[in-house]
Amino acid sequence: MLDQKQTELVKEKESIEADQKKSKMTELKEHVMPDIAIVDATPTCRVVGAGAEASGKQGHLHLYTPGISVESVGARRIHLQIVRFPPDGRANAHKHDGHETAIYVLSGESGMWYGERLEQHLIARAGEFLYIPANMPHLPYNLSASESCLAVIARTDPNDQESVVLLPELDGAHGP
């Protein structure tokens, strides 16, 4: 009969083997069906590396690095990413349909026009948090012409870009 330590080692080995099998299946699925999101029936703790930096619907001067999402870990109610605005970078005017956003500025300074006609303005600096209510039109930009602005963004939409609604009628409200 196995003692408690041996039983724990067997369970740990079985868990590792199950994780390896799941990882191989995920790799196979991503190779065969790369456009289909990973959605686990049984959520578990996961560590993932940052995805490749990309520009989203918000524009090419608003670069994001996906982290936690439905696509990466099967998240159901949260999305976490890093966003970088290059010097003089800005997003297109947009809102997140039905989803709140929380931001922590890691470095730099970001200005943001917000409101139904982008009539209000704020500045968020390194070390500060910013909250954007669901459906709030906004147009964020980097205040610096020489340094990037870097921030961590959490949103209640588990998808990278699904809730983004572009508002082109507001894009010209505050410069190019």
Residue 36 is predicted with a pLDDT of 44
Percent pLDDT > 90 in the chain is 56
Q: For residues 110 and 25, which has the higher predicted lDDT (pLDDT)? A: 110
pLDDT at residue 33 is higher than 50: no
Greater confidence (157 vs 1) lies with 157
CATH topology for the 54-174 domain: Jelly Rolls (2.60.120)
- The DSSP code for 97 is T
Stretch 80-102: mean pLDDT, rounded? 93
Neighbours of 22 (CB within 10 A): 12
* Full strand arrangement of the beta sheet holding 59-68: 54-56, 59-68, 79-85, 149-155, 101-107, 129-132
Question: Using CA atoms, how far apart are residues 47 and 42, in angstroms rounded to an integer?
Answer: 16
What CA–CA distance (Å, rounded) separates 17 from 14? 5
Residues of the chain above pLDDT 70, percent: 82
Q: What digits encode the pLDDT tens for the residues 125-157?
A: 999 999 999 999 999 999 999 999 999 999 999
Burial (CB count within 10 angstroms: exposed 0-12, middle 13-18, buried 19+), residue 155: buried
| 65 in Cβ contact with 81 (< 8 Å) | yes
DSSP tag of 72: H
Q: What is the mean pLDDT of the chain?
A: 84
Place of tokens 């330590």: 5
Answer for the pair 141, 120: CB distance below 8 angstroms, yes or no: no
- pLDDT recorded at residue 56: 78
Q: What does the angle CA 170 – CA 172 – CA 176 come to, to the nearest 5 degrees? A: 135
